[in-house]
Amino acid sequence: MSFLFGSRSSETFKPKKNVPEGSHQYDLMKQAAATLGSGNLRQAVMLPEGEDLNEWVAVNTVDFFKQISMMYGTITEFCTEESCPIMSAGPKYEYHWADGHTVKKPIKCSAPKYIDYLMTWVQDQLDDETLFPSKIGVPFPKNFLLNAKVILKRLFRVYAHIYHQHFTEVVELGEEAHVNTSFKHFIFFVQEFNLIEARELAPLQELIEKLAAKDAR
């Protein structure tokens, strides 16, 4: 399965993963959406009382994947082999792709190709019931949080690329507030549960500090 956006048009990708209606994860998703609506993102990311951390991380990871997919879908026409021949987040940070299975040795590739590999890989992880169980009563694997950390670390790279290479287009499209809110939600979530190492967040450290300072006022 490939994640490519049709003929690289601005069509948004619709991820397959859907949490079954009536399941506990579905209720958790609705609860998360309701808390988000209150506008308090620090509160919205906290683990609801009595809930399982794995389940909370799973539901939010699926949601972030969908948000980032749609966000990247709005700027695909600007992210091309010509405009972005390498996957980078500013001049200091370059990412090479490897998934440990089909691509074992990291390869240098363009941003659109890298993001296609990344999103296809994430979609496959989310669709794998042994990694991301969506059925009631099916336990999460012991290494679930480790897997989720790798997924979130890689999804962060899409935000980093958008902010460094395509923020002008984001502003022109009037998507600035949406992207900022989505990223703030993502960062507060990974910080709350210590899911991404600080060095991985370095490409957007200044922005992260700004968002935290604004929230503290």
Q: What value does the mean pLDDT of the chain take?
A: 85
Mean pLDDT along residues 168-189? 93
Q: Is 5 a residue whose pLDDT tops 50?
A: no
CA 131 vs CA 123, 134, 138, 196: distances in Å: 12, 10, 11, 19
So what's the pLDDT on residue 41? 84
Domains of the chain as residue ranges with CATH? 24-216 (1.20.140.30)
The pTM of the full predicted model, rounded to 2 decimals, is 0.84
Mean pLDDT along residues 41-63? 91
Q: Is 20 a residue whose pLDDT tops 90?
A: no
The two three-digit tokens of residue 111, written as one number: 């941003």
So what's the pLDDT on residue 8? 37
Give the Cα separation of 192 and 49 in Å (integer): 15
Give percent above pLDDT 90 in the chain: 66
So what's the pLDDT on residue 23? 58
Sign of the CA dihedral running 125, 130, 134, 139: negative
